[in-house]
Amino acid sequence: AQSVTQPDIHITVSEGASLELRCNYSYGATPYLFWYVQSPGQGLQLLLKYFSGDTLVQGIKGFEAEFKRSQSSFNLRKPSVHWSDAAEYFCAVAKGTGGFKTIFGAGTRLFVKA
């Protein structure tokens, strides 16, 4: 069965420091991978997605993610965190052909300290 694991329930990072959020997936075929961010009281917003090609994907708000097939990982990174990045981050994998279903991880809550 397809699944997404985010090993860290929460992470605290100092403002200006670098960030890496981990995501591991289990899927038998070529995965379609996503990272979403959810701020308090807001809906989810797509940060970036990977379908094929270059394994380093650039997204919005200065985020990037790297797909590593050998490690079944799709980690999210940002070189310098801002206080406004504090939110919940969800990794997701899409399965199916034609109409697809998105499977979300449990999320990682990011705290940013001054």
Partner 1 sequence: EAGVVQSPRYKIIEKKQPVAFWCNPISGHNTLYWYRQNLGQGPELLIRYENEEAVDDSQLPKDRFSAERLKGVDSTLKIQPAELGDSAVYLCASSLGQGFADTQYFGPGTRLTVL
Task: Indicate the Cα dihedral angle 63, 73, 49, 97, nearest 10°.
Answer: -170
- Closest approach of partner 1 to the CB of residue 52, in Å: 10
Q: Does 111 bind partner 1 (CB under 8 A)?
A: no
CB distance 83 to 114 below 8 Å: yes
Cβ of residue 98: shortest distance to partner 1, in angstroms? 7
- 19 in Cβ contact with 81 (< 8 Å): yes
Between 17 and 106, CB nearer to partner 1: 106
For partner 1, the closer of residues 22 and 49 by Cβ is 49
Contact call for residue 27 and partner 1 (CB under 8 A): no
Question: For residues 23 and 4, what is the distance between their CA atoms, to the nearest angstrom?
Answer: 7
Instruction: Write out the binding residues for partner 1, residues 33-52 only, by CB under 8 A.
Output: 41-46, 49, 51
